[in-house]
Amino acid sequence: MSTKKLHPVSINILGKDYRVACSEDEQESLLQAAQALDSQMREIRDSGTVNGADRIAVMAALNLTHELRQAQSKNTSPSGYISNQLANLRHKIENVLENP
């Protein structure tokens, strides 16, 4: 079992600084995630429809989770997608062969 050394990383979300420990190979991903969250929270705050940092955070988390689930549902079954595409192609080929 390998243990990764954790390093503190400073991130800023909606004007507040946070220090998060993560492995060196995950730092870039963490910074990108923090930027995406900050952007989402600023967009919600600037819309004026949600007040309070905690509510903004919940709405941002909900939005980002929804986007993630949508992306995952599109990619969960590549073999199913390929099977559907092959079935469509087979159907087209059969139509062409039956109706020259």
Task: Give the tens place of pLDDT for each residue, 10-54.
Answer: 999 999 999 999 999 999 999 999 999 999 999 999 999 888 989
**In whole angstroms, what is the distance from residue 61 CA to residue 34 CA?**
12
| Residue 32 confidence (pLDDT) | 93
The domain that holds 38 is classified in CATH as: 3.30.160.880
Kindly state whether residue 89 falls inside one of the protein's structural domains.
yes
Q: How many domains is the chain partitioned into structurally?
A: 1
Kindly state whether residue 47 falls inside one of the protein's structural domains.
yes
Kindly state whether residue 1 falls inside one of the protein's structural domains.
no
Predicted TM-score (pTM) above 0.75: no
**In whole angstroms, what is the distance from residue 43 CA to residue 59 CA?**
11
All residues at 6 or more sequence positions from 1 whose CB lies less than 8 Å from its CB, including other chains: none
* 10: containing domain: 6-98
Residue 1 confidence class, pLDDT cut points 50, 70, 90: very low
**In whole angstroms, what is the distance from residue 22 CA to residue 77 CA?**
31
